[in-house]
Structure 1
């Protein structure tokens, strides 16, 4: 069972939120620690400063000198400070024996100081911060000594304190404030994560990572599969894509040309014009690096915006050659050329005989030639009603004579003009390529017997084509490869002929049988159903 995966937008949102939570949590944690630490320092500094101010106040010094715990100016002075000061809840003034001259609770005046942490200030006169429990509870307390500057004598001490409970409440409030601030930050972080995920999704046209990877693999496969050269550029006229076919057609040896200016590689390219105008150009002939190409150039658009341009192109020579093979034009042209050549040869013979005044020989030659030609014409045209195929066969007969090959058309051959879905161009492709291959095979054989036997028989259901030669035959190792596109044992051959035959026969739902014997010859028998698919 395939594990369910979240969509890219969801993954980005979750991932961004997790990062935001971790970042905000970490920030809040250290911020809270800093707040607590700085707040503690602030309270300590505040109560110490207040303690020092009170200890140095003339009212306190004079009150301590009076020796009266109840009737002195210290208690009103301290009470006023308590009312006007924040974060201070306890102020106690006591003499060296620890008896109180001031206290938040007036009823405790004259009583002994409680806590035990006052001994240090009594003994040493030192100012310090401590934490202890007194009559009002546990508190953080600042001690400052009271001195009589005239007599250079310590009269007592001042303790200013803040209850730990109050400090805890202040800490709690500040931490809550920090958390609430963090939550606000997290909220905006989530909004930002959703916005970012949507932005990325739109940039990727809503595609998921596996879809992007699949498209990339498919793109690479298509680029390598097509024979056309492909080059694409961006808005800066820099190359963003080029396939191997383009490199071969343009003879580009440099490997790393992605990012190069297209005009640097191909100075006379028209891709920049297409990029500027946004107008596509189709089937344009152009010379690029000494190669004539047929090119299609189109702008690449994202919505209405032009984001680049792409060109596909092929070698014009290869296109022309392929068109000739596919349409059968090549076979017809060769047949006409052979007929013309044979006709010229006969004229030359007649002209030579006339010049030497062998008029009877001229007469005999013309009669014999006409008789032979009439026999051939009667056989071919009488049996083959399709004039295109008849012309092809006559041309191939003439071509065979030039090569010293006897081309024998079977007397059983018969072909109507209407052949169902089997067109004349299909038969031209099959017959022309088979006969041409037989001629080439015979020319490689040293046997004296040079014969090609052709049979073209039509029935109600099908057409059977048989071409048998006395050529060199096909090696056993090559039999399985002869119908593959591009395969050929001849140096200058394109290896298209038999591949075209195979594709044509398969498209028509037909069948091919090949029998061969090395140095003895080869027979191709092709059966085409009249109602086959096309």
Structure 2
């Protein structure tokens, strides 16, 4: 059986196959990544290689110039060469020395001249005695400096080291010029930098190969989708999240909100999303149970609760990645329509039950009156009719005077009729009162609490036979709503007291039991109250439910004695 993840991946792949075609460059994310990374890496390598090789060329050129100058300084310090300046024919001594040094050092030429720049040595003998070419001898002959220069001599453009020749008294008597041709220097530079360029080229090739592998990996990670497809899916997802009728709230492993849609903000009364995202869930929604999901990793489904006046069903599930909890998601599904339908069905069911009970009760009374009339007991029949009418009027009058909410009045009237059908005496304490009408939520909660408690009490009191008795007290005086229901049944065993409010626990036989008291207990907790169990003065059990008075409307209380709508 395929997993949901594999099905979603298959859907994305089908979407990819069915996407519209675009230009070869814009539609291929892999090609874009490869070109972008490759070109960027190639540009960086070329720039770095050019700089390094340029610096290397400068260093080679500088070393060649320093080499030429070192040779010139060595030649200028030879004693034989210095002494030859006083000979009638200096070239006879200087030429052999200069040529030997030229061949040993690899220089293009070693030229020695006098203070008039007339040559005493030259690689070409026919140029002996002629003036040196280049015009760069003044610094040596006039100022006695040793330096490196680039100039065009008789043999071509060269890098030359020049230094003066001093006699024993320190006077300048001549000049030595050692030259390396610039084309030779350029060849040396090329030879030394070619390896660097080959390495740069190799790194560029490897860079493009790495860019290709990276693009393949990224393409695999994003399930083969193109950027515009991912952007479209993101916009569609956002549109779906904001348009659905379910509220969605997600947190990360630190409990910070990462996603909240419009419906969730409406349910929870939250500010705009940009003010909520990144905030701890406990600060934004103090009663949230998502922290329990993050701690335990347990899933919570179909949890019913009220958000303000809105009933919702909540699901909470952890986000797992490799068995690790990475976050949690909570969804809120409105129960308003279901609740409205349930209320309508409950009201119809109550009406049916009440009518059925009344029909059963009044059919017995009609049979009794018919028998009395047949026995010619007219006065007794009239007395029975007056007695029944007085009781009904008394019940209606009490409810009209003490209960301001018509829905609760109808519920109590139905329960009283149902109790008579079960042969249980249901008594409403004369000090009971509900002076303010309830909100829609208040009506739902009060009907549930009173209905379940009276049903359980009547069931318990029914075990006493015709002596069954149930007493109801309620009031909205003070800051809370108080409902107290007691009976003269067998009560609750001591070993069951702790579990009586647990969902699924029941002392009654049969399936689908143990829901009523659990529901009442949860509603009391959710609405600022609680429910307690103690022994009744009637001998059975006494349940006391406390609810927050916010379930009552804030409008002016209804005057006592106002008619039921």
Alignment match of 1:263 (pick from 282, 287, 292): 282
Matches of 2:353 and 2:134 in 1, distance apart? 130
CA contact (8 A) 1:69 1:109 kept: no
CA contact (8 A) 2:267 2:307 kept: no
CA contact (8 A) 1:94 1:157 kept: yes
1:51 aligns with 2:69: no
CA contact (8 A) 1:98 1:113 kept: yes
Alignment match of 1:237 (pick from 255, 259, 264): 255
Alignment of structure 1 residues 35-114 onto 2, 5 Å: 35-69=56-90, 72=93, 75-76=96-97, 79-80=100-101, 83=104, 85=105, 88-104=107-123, 110-112=128-130, 114=132
Residues 146-170 of structure 1 deviation map (CA, whole Å, 9 limit, x = unaligned): 11141x4222110011111101212
1:300 aligns with 2:319: yes
Q: How many residues align?
A: 358
Q: 1:301 to 1:210 in 2, by over 3 A?
A: farther
Residues 107-128 of structure 1 deviation map (CA, whole Å, 9 limit, x = unaligned): 5695535524365345665544
Q: Secondary structure at the match of 2:133?
A: coil
Alignment match of 1:309 (pick from 324, 328, 335): 328
Alignment match of 1:24 (pick from 33, 42, 45): 45
Matches of 1:194 and 1:232 in 2, distance apart? 36
CA contact (8 A) 1:75 1:101 kept: no
Alignment match of 2:352 (pick from 330, 336, 344): 336
Matches of 1:64 and 1:352 in 2, distance apart? 166
CA contact (8 A) 1:239 1:259 kept: yes
Correspondence for 1:190? 208
Matches of 1:45 and 1:299 in 2, distance apart? 75
Correspondence for 1:450? none
Correspondence for 2:4? none
1:168 aligns with 2:193: no
Alignment of structure 1 residues 371-382 onto 2, 5 Å: none
Correspondence for 2:175? 157
Correspondence for 2:233? 215
TM value normalised by structure 1: 0.56
1:250 aligns with 2:272: no
Alignment of structure 1 residues 78-477 onto 2, 5 Å: 79-80=100-101, 83=104, 85=105, 88-104=107-123, 110-112=128-130, 114-117=132-135, 120=138, 121-122=140-141, 125-134=144-153, 136-150=155-169, 152-253=170-271, 255=273, 256-285=275-304, 293-302=312-321, 304-315=323-334, 317-318=335-336, 320-321=338-339, 324=342, 329-330=345-346, 333=349, 336-337=352-353, 339-340=355-356, 343=359, 346=362, 357=379, 359=381
Matches of 1:82 and 1:291 in 2, distance apart? 105
Matches of 2:102 and 2:295 in 1, distance apart? 81
Q: 1:306 to 1:215 in 2, by over 3 A?
A: farther
Gaps of 5+ in 1: 364-534
CA contact (8 A) 1:126 1:145 kept: yes
Q: 1:125 to 1:337 in 2, by over 3 A?
A: same
What is the Cα deviation at residue 346 of structure 1? 4.7
Matches of 1:118 and 1:250 in 2, distance apart? 91
Residues 406-460 of structure 1 deviation map (CA, whole Å, 9 limit, x = unaligned): xxxxxxxxxxxxxxxxxxxxxxxxxxxxxxxxxxxxxxxxxxxxxxxxxxxxxxx
Matches of 1:200 and 1:142 in 2, distance apart? 59
Q: Secondary structure at the match of 1:117?
A: coil
Q: 1:51 to 1:245 in 2, by over 3 A?
A: same
Q: 1:213 to 1:351 in 2, by over 3 A?
A: farther
Correspondence for 1:7? 28
CA contact (8 A) 1:47 1:160 kept: yes
Deviates more, 1:185-194 or 1:120-129: 120-129
What is the Cα deviation at residue 102 of structure 1? 4.3
Matches of 2:324 and 2:212 in 1, distance apart? 26
Q: Secondary structure at the match of 2:291?
A: helix
Q: 1:191 to 1:130 in 2, by over 3 A?
A: same
Matches of 1:172 and 1:309 in 2, distance apart? 64
What is the Cα deviation at residue 197 of structure 1? 2.9
Q: 1:14 to 1:118 in 2, by over 3 A?
A: closer
Q: Secondary structure at the match of 1:24?
A: helix
Q: Secondary structure at the match of 2:27?
A: coil
CA contact (8 A) 1:63 1:74 kept: no
What is the Cα deviation at residue 239 of structure 1? 0.8
Q: Secondary structure at the match of 1:186?
A: helix
Matches of 1:206 and 1:308 in 2, distance apart? 26
Residues 238-265 of structure 1 deviation map (CA, whole Å, 9 limit, x = unaligned): 1110112212222223641101111222
